[in-house]
Homo-oligomer: A and B are copies of this chain.
Amino acid sequence: MTSLAATAARIEASFAKQALMTTLGATLESVEPGRVVIVLPVVPALFQQHGFVHAGAVATIADSAAGYAALTRMPEGRGVLTAEFKINLLAPAAGARLVAIGTVVKAGRTLTLSQAEVFAEAIAGDAGSRKLCALLTATLMAIEDRAGIVD
């Protein structure tokens, strides 16, 4: 059996290797079986032309949250790759902080379906100020026995 601590450590170590997260300023907030939360402070370096966070940055944290949620359901030694995702953008990604909550819809041997909700917080850390700004669904693939593709 894989302990919760071992799973969290595994995701933390993998997240730390995702250099793009550092580049954007995203951090891993929580890891539970089947659920991963990533937060991203809103800063001008992430903006598109109208002063909102670019859909690509929103998609980036949503994809990672969905992918790591899937990874919590995969046996150790497997790597996770995104096969596809779709994101609907519902409101401008603005405010103080974005929060991406990834959850597993159905875990399979080869393919896992996850989704991620992204909320824009007017006040960072104030869940009461959250507004849903994007919804992503992603197909994640479990990779086995391929050099370099672990976690």
Contacts and interface: CB of A to CB of B under 8 A. Distances in A.
Interface in A47-63: 47-51, 53-57, 59-61, 63
Given A24-B23, A50-B79, A56-B63, A113 B88 contact: yes
Contacts of A50: 79, 81, 148-149
A19 B91 CA distance: 19
Contacts of A23: 23-24, 45-46
A105 interface: yes
Interface residues of A, number: 54
- Main SS at interface, chain A: mixed
Contacts of A105: 88, 90, 132, 135
A83 to B, nearest CB: 6
A64 to B, nearest CB: 7
A84 interface: yes
A35 B112 CA distance: 26
Interface of A: 14-15, 17-20, 22-24, 44-51, 53-57, 59-61, 63-64, 79, 81-91, 105-106, 108, 110-111, 113, 115, 132, 135, 137, 139, 141, 148-149, 151
